[in-house]
């Protein structure tokens, strides 16, 4: 079984018209709807998209930040972000959707994942 990116959107703004004020310093949550290739259905995986500059602006030098569910980019380019997520999905294969979804959950917070934020 293979995974496919079926939809990408933000809960905070219209992704089709959004452009950050500073394309080198931004951070936002993105929801990827991913499901089995050639089958109906999809599940959500939330990914925090940010730049290294955003990390430096929003964290002290003494902070330690985990990278799980983060996609770090150097500038805002929605097409590159979509392609990176899509390529990751294609590489996630397994004998069942559960097996595939567990691999996808390394990239984004899966809606069925029991996750505690590192900030909690």
pLDDT digits (tens, 9 = 90+) for 31-83: 999 999 989 999 999 999 999 999 999 999 999 988 889 999 999 999 999 99
Rounded distance, CA 48 to CA 58, Å? 14
pLDDT at 114 over 80: no
**Structure confidence at residue 115 as a pLDDT band (50, 70, 90):** low
Specify if 118 maps to a domain.
Answer: no
Whether 28 and 46 have beta carbons less than 8 Å apart is answered as: no
51 within some domain: yes
**Is residue 81 one of the residues assigned to a domain?**
yes
Look at the chain and report how many structural domains it folds into: 1
Q: Confirm whether 89 is domain-assigned.
A: yes
pLDDT tens sequence across 16-35 = 999 999 999 999 999 999 99
DSSP three-state, residue 1: coil
Predicted confidence at residue 118, as pLDDT, reads 47
3-state helix, strand, coil in the chain (%, to 5): 25, 25, 50
Q: Please give the residue range of the domain that contains residue 101.
A: 3-110
Q: What is the pTM of this model?
A: 0.88
Residue 120 predicted with pLDDT over 50? no
| Of 29, 24, 33, 18, nearest in space to 52 by CA | 24
């Amino acid at each position: 079984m293979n995974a496919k990116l079926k939809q990408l959107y933000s809960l905070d703004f219209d992704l089709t018209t959004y452009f950050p004020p500073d394309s080198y310093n931004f951070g936002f949550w993105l929801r990827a709807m991913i499901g089995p290739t050639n089958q109906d259905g999809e599940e959500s995986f939330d990914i925090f998209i940010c730049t290294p500059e955003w990390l430096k602006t929003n964290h002290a030098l003494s902070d330690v930040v985990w990278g799980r569910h983060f996609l770090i980019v150097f500038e805002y380019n929605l097409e590159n972000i979509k392609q990176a997520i899509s390529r990751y999905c294609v590489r996630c294969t397994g004998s069942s959707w559960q097996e595939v979804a567990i691999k996808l959950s390394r990239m984004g917070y899966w809606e069925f994942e029991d996750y505690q934020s590192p900030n909690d």
